[in-house]
Structure 1
């Protein structure tokens, strides 16, 4: 039988980590990388696995992710974020897929996003496909950009069962994460020497909320669209500050 390793990294994820790790306790190997947490994250991880590693909290999170992937020994690797959870249907599909993957070296997984108690079905939030399952040695991060995707050698297939995602614990979490990722986005544009699109945030809001019918998801759909607008606007402001404009 093919062996499955699950890799998760986290920084101060004490509140959400248990749900994530509980959902994959059936895997053959569970690897967790604690990125210099100051809360009880590592202690939570040790309740589920002995393979808990420490790593500095690199601002390019893909450096941390690749570190965890390199620690895995399974034939196949499933990478998760600590605010995600594997559903029972996805568990069963993963088990059957890695036994008979066909010509594929990796698989996209449809992710569904839970915004304050509601599963979003519109506004570009589902299916939010993520490349998460891959054969060991067939995928890696170049570790140049926090927003980069896994680079895969071989064919990529698609799974149908959903991966659950709980992106924000509360409103304060939205502000904290948006502040972090908007800084990285501004720094990337400056480093690449590319101008920051002036109207990208407004365009994304209009497309996701109206054209992709985000309004059908109630106030949570509106909140999701506004969060994206806030993120792009904040990144633009930081870009201007750093560029001296």
Structure 2
């Protein structure tokens, strides 16, 4: 079968201590023309594994949140189209074929949304609202940027981003040992985002938001149809919401007592957040060798 003639594409992967995932993620993206891995100074074998692949261009950078890391990573790429993945995600052969055919045909749009099939301990989550999980991950250089948020930042595009047919795979939770520290981190980061923007927290936030999230996911979004896995999954998500608002409440209480919170660092580099024209970014990459 002749190779499709398409524009070159750069894959981006952001990582931290992903030795269990990074190899499989890279393997699923070897069809791309380069793979840019941006690591947050992992302490496991993630760097060693990533650098063992010839197509990988490996960088390390402090972590200021997913949005900052992905924006910075996009600025390191060389090619016209950018495909963004996390280390716990996989590109399927069907998604690869769809993307290559799309680019070879001359795409009508500058950005595309990809559905995610979410796995909880090797079981697909069919309900709880996650069956509709989708993210903008295929973008032409200069046509999309993540907003300045520490957590839960969705890419903004300068035009429509239609949804592709085939999903990526998202191995979201393999074990509690692996996932609970992530929930705690996201709770702190979400609270920090709320603190930075002046949000308050009280009974309605701590109890109301976490309770409503569980009821919405488990009852109204049919999480109960996933059985015991659905129950545990929905409660984990509600727990993450509880942590965010409880931490923010604690910070406000202690601030009134003169004890200010120790916030995680935010990325204050304006270049990370500014939109860049494709031609300018390409020239910058050439200048940097």
Instruction: Note the 1:119-134 alignment, pairs <5 A.
Output: 119-134=124-139
**Stretch of structure 1 that moved more, 180-189 or 46-55:** 46-55
From 223, 227, 239, the equivalent of 1:214 is 223
Partner of 1:166: helix, strand, or coil? strand
Is residue 172 from structure 1 mapped to residue 173 from structure 2 by the alignment? no
Match of 1:155 among 153, 156, 160: 160
1:184-223, aligned counterparts within 5 Å? Answer: 184-196=189-201, 197-198=205-206, 199-223=208-232
> Mind listing any 5+ residue stretches in structure 2 that lack a counterpart?
1-5, 255-289
Larger Rg: 2
Could you say which residue in structure 1 is the equivalent of 2:66?
Answer: 61
SS in 2 for 1:107: strand
For residues 177-233 of structure 1, the C-alpha deviation after alignment (integer angstroms, 9 at most, x for no partner) is 000000011111121112243411111111111111111112211111011111011
* 1:34 maps to 2:43: no
Q: Which secondary structure state, in structure 2, belongs to the residue aligned with residue 27 of structure 1?
A: coil
C-alpha distance after superposition, 1:55-107 (max 9, x if no partner) = 1233x232211111111112110000010001111111111112235431111
1:105 aligns with 2:114: no
- Does residue 22 in structure 1 map to residue 27 in structure 2? yes
Of 128, 137, 144, the residue aligned with 2:142 is: 137
Inter-partner Cα distance in structure 2 for 1:50 and 1:243:
44
Distance 1:71 1:153 in 2: 20
TM-score w.r.t. the length of structure 2 is 0.81
User: What is the deviation of 1:132?
Assistant: 0.5
Partner of 2:243: 234
1:182 is matched with: 187
Retained in 1: the 8 A contact 2:149–2:193?
no
Q: What CA distance in whole angstroms lies between the structure 1 residues aligned with 2:78 and 2:99?
A: 17
Aligned partners of 1:52 and 1:84: how far apart in 2?
Answer: 18
Aligned pairs, how many? 244
**Structure 2 CA distance, aligned partners of 1:19 and 1:213?**
31
